[in-house]
């Protein structure tokens, strides 16, 4: 049997060997990792080990960690060391896990390919020409490359599920409010949610159990008991009612992805599930509504980076306005600046009702679509992404990148949970040997059911 220290040392050596090329970590923390591993070994020796004691993992660099830089993938926070831990980090430490470091990500979690990181793109471990997805691309690549067995991500519009799909791993976005957002650098506060990324649904079940729960420091976290998410993993699926949203199998869906997803659904039928088509009629409004709401919230959240209190400050400012302007112009990358401009515009006087208020009304309709569907079926299934991982540099136009999120974004607007599970590898050109993700959706707080359904496929 390995000690936690031996396991940690061997993974640190693997990171050293492979991550120069992969670039999945922004910061590796060997000293803290070895100290945590020793503590885990000591706990085991005392007979106090839990299921996660000594588990090595990595944290998306959006979770605040005491004494270790938290950059959010931005030059703005390249020098930022938080004075406290995020609740998720605290809970993972209390469970005895061993963090090996902080993973690469799109700047402030804005992106679908990891190409917006100040620290450079991440390679997809399956194919170095492909992106790993985003924004939690470093977490997905690190797990897929065997650098860590699990990692934490965040998902505002797909950032856990889409990189999980692109890298052939399992990623769960919990119900909004299931996991505390305290200490997670805010992108769009009404959409952001943290969740686990790992090889299997069973691993995700253990991790979700560790991080979920009410937190007095996040007023949007829900005061609701945390079940044992592993208890129902083996429950049989006979009688499970699966809905296939017809809008998720339409134009733009890569035929190889569709084939892999439909084959996965046939496996569920062989396990006793029944399948029917359903409709989510407001699906085509999800991307426009999201790209009003998320930038609006982002422009507000990012106002705090002013060169005074946090992060990057320009050299020799002439006056206060110059300090603000140049610090922000130098600290934020192009996509982040674009979102701040969009958000500031839609929130400005005279535009608020036409854009922001309208988007919130559409959001309510999108949520109702899902609730209506869950009156009919237990879970919804479809692709996590319309294509397998695309090539680095292939999507230069921001709108083509935004369209990439068509199957994930509505889920955040509705606040429901979703999981992406590996559903095969597509072979044919132009996508040689790139993974496909099956997305499974459930109603609010149905995580145990989603994990059960995902696990039965694995
Ligand atoms: N790709 C989406 C965006 O850029 C979603 C990102 C996320 O979930 N953080 O906003």
Residues noted as catalytic: 60, 135, 159
pTM of the shown model: 0.97
413 lines ligand 1 (CB under 6 A): no
pLDDT for the residue numbered 349: 87
Collect contacts of 283-286 with beta carbons under 8 A, ≥24 apart.
283/245, 283/247, 283/248, 283/366, 283/369, 283/406, 283/410, 284/247, 285/362, 285/365, 285/366, 286/366, 286/406, 286/409, 286/410, 286/413
Cα dihedral 375, 165, 104, 58 sign: positive
CA 110 to ligand 1 center in whole angstroms: 5
111 lines ligand 1 (CB under 6 A): yes
164 lines ligand 1 (CB under 6 A): no
302 lines ligand 1 (CB under 6 A): no
Q: Rounded to an integer, what distance in angstroms lies between the CA atom of residue 252 and that of residue 284? A: 13
157 lines ligand 1 (CB under 6 A): yes
109 lines ligand 1 (CB under 6 A): yes
Q: Rounded to an integer, what distance in angstroms lies between the CA atom of residue 23 and that of residue 42? A: 32
Does a cis peptide bond (omega within 30 degrees of 0) precede residue 430?
A: yes
Candidates 157, 291, 334, 384: which one to mutate for ligand 1, based on the most atoms within 8 Å of Cβ? Answer: 157
Candidates 405, 410, 411: which one to mutate for ligand 1, based on the most atoms within 8 Å of Cβ? Answer: 405
155 lines ligand 1 (CB under 6 A): yes
CA 138 to ligand 1 center in whole angstroms: 14
Among 444, 421, 438, residue whose Cα is nearest residue 382: 438
CA 315 to ligand 1 center in whole angstroms: 32
Q: Rounded to an integer, what distance in angstroms lies between the CA atom of residue 149 and that of residue 134? A: 19
CA 195 to ligand 1 center in whole angstroms: 14
Measured from the Cα of 401, ligand 1's closest atom is 1
CA of 383: how far to CAs of 250, 255, 263, 295, 313, in Å?
A: 11, 11, 12, 25, 43
Residue partners of 159: CB distance under 8 A and separation at least 6 = 106, 109, 112, 134, 135, 136, 153
Measured from the Cα of 155, ligand 1's closest atom is 8
Among 266, 261, 341, residue whose Cα is nearest residue 303: 341
90 lines ligand 1 (CB under 6 A): no
Measured from the Cα of 112, ligand 1's closest atom is 1
**In terms of DSSP bridges, do strands 241-245 and 274-278 run parallel, antiparallel, or are they unpaired?**
parallel
Tens-digit pLDDT string for the chain (458 aa): 789 999 999 999 999 999 999 999 999 999 999 999 999 999 999 999 999 999 999 999 999 999 999 999 999 999 999 999 999 999 999 999 999 999 999 999 999 999 999 999 999 999 999 999 999 999 999 999 999 999 999 999 999 999 999 999 999 999 999 999 999 999 999 999 999 999 999 999 999 999 999 999 999 999 999 999 999 999 999 999 999 999 999 999 999 999 999 999 999 999 999 999 999 999 999 999 999 999 999 999 999 999 999 899 999 999 999 999 999 999 999 999 999 999 999 999 888 889 999 999 999 999 999 999 999 999 999 999 999 999 999 999 999 999 999 999 999 999 999 999 999 998 755 546 899 999 999 999 999 999 999 999 98
CA 134 to ligand 1 center in whole angstroms: 7
Q: What is the 3-state secondary structure (H, E, C) of the chain?
A: CCCHHHHHHHHHHHHHHHHHHHCCEEEECHHHHHHHHHHHHHHHHCCCCCCCCCCEEEEECCECECCEECCCCCHHHCCCECCCCCHHHHHHHHCCCEEEEEECCCHHHCCCCCCCCCCCCCCECCECCECCCCCCHHHHHHHHCCCCCEEEEECCCCCCHHHHHHHCCEEEECCCCCECCCCECCCCCCCCCEEEEECCHHHHHHHHHHHECCCCCCCCCCCCCCCCCCCCCCCCCCCCEEEEEHHHHCCCCCHHHHHHHHHHHHHHHHCCCEEEEECCCCHHHHHHHHHHHHHHHHHHHHHHCCCCCCCCCCCCCCCHHHHHHHHHHHHCCHHHHHHHHHHHHHHCCCCCHHHHHHHHHHHHHHHHHHHHHHHHCCEEEEECCCCCCCECCCCCCHHHHHHCCCCCHHHHHHCCCEEEEEEEEECCCCCCCEEEEEEEECCCCCHHHHHHHHHHHC
113 lines ligand 1 (CB under 6 A): no
Q: For the chain, list the domains and their CATH numbers.
A: 4-211 (3.90.1300.10)
Measured from the Cα of 405, ligand 1's closest atom is 1
Q: Angle at the Cα of 162 (from 156 to 165), degrees rounded to 5?
A: 150
54 lines ligand 1 (CB under 6 A): no
294 lines ligand 1 (CB under 6 A): yes
Among 436, 437, 404, 439, residue whose Cα is nearest residue 418: 439
pLDDT for the residue numbered 165: 98
| Other CB atoms within 10 Å distance of the CB of residue 292 | 25
pLDDT for the residue numbered 432: 61
Name the residue at shortest CA distance from atom 5 of ligand 1. Answer: 157
Measured from the Cα of 335, ligand 1's closest atom is 4
Q: Rounded to an integer, what distance in angstroms lies between the CA atom of residue 321 and that of residue 267? A: 61
CA 133 to ligand 1 center in whole angstroms: 10
- The ipTM of this complex is 0.98
């Amino acid at each position: 049997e390995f000690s936690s220290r031996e396991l940690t040392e061997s993974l640190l050596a693997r990171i050293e060997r492979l991550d120069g090329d992969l670039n999945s970590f922004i910061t590796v923390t060997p000293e803290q990792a070895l100290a945590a591993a020793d503590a885990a070994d000591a706990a085991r020796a005392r007979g106090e080990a839990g299921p996660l004691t000594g588990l090595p993992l990595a944290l998306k660099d959006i979770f605040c960690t005491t004494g270790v830089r938290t950059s959010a993938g931005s030059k703005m926070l390249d020098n930022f060391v938080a004075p406290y831990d995020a609740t998720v980090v605290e809970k993972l430490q209390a469970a005895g896990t061993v963090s090996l470091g902080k993973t690469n990500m799109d700047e402030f979690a804005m992106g679908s390919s990891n190409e917006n990181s100040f620290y450079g793109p991440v390679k997809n471990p399956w194919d170095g020409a492909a992106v790993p997805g985003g924004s939690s691309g470093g977490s997905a690549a690190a797990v897929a490359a065997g650098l860590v067995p699990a990692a934490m991500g965040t998902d505002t519009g797909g950032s856990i599920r889409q990189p999980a799909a692109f890298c052939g791993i399992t990623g769960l976005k919990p119900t909004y409010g299931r996991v505390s957002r305290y200490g997670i650098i805010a992108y769009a506060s009404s959409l952001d949610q943290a969740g686990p990324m790992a090889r299997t649904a069973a691993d995700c079940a253990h991790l979700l159990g560790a991080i979920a729960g009410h937190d007095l420091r996040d007023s949007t976290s829900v005061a609701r008991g945390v079940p044992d998410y592993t208890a129902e993993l083996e429950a049989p699926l006979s009688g499970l009612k699966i809905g296939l949203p017809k809008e998720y199998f339409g134009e733009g869906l890569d035929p190889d992805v569709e084939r892999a997803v439909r084959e996965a659904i046939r496996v569920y039928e062989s396990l006793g599930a029944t399948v029917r088509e359903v409709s989510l009629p407001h699906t085509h409004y999800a991307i426009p509504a999201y790209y009003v709401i998320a930038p609006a919230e982002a422009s507000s959240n990012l106002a705090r980076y002013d060169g005074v209190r946090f992060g990057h400050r320009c050299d020799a400012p002439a006056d206060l306005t110059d300090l603000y302007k140049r610090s922000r112009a130098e600290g934020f990358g192009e996509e982040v600046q674009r979102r701040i401009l969009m958000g500031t515009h839609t929130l400005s006087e005279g535009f608020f009702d036409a854009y922001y208020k309208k988007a919130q009304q559409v959001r309510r309709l999108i949520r109702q679509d899902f609730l209506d569907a869950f009156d009919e079926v237990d879970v919804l299934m479809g692709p996590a992404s319309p294509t397998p991982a695309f090539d680095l540099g292939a999507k230069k136009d921001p709108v083509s990148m935004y369209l990439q999120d068509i199957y994930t974004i509505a889920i955040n607007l509705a606040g429901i949970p979703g999981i992406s599970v590996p559903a095969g590898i597509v072979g044919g050109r132009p996508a040689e040997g790139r993974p496909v993700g099956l997305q499974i959706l459930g109603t609010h707080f149905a995580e145990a059911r989603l994990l059960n359904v995902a696990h039965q496929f694995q």
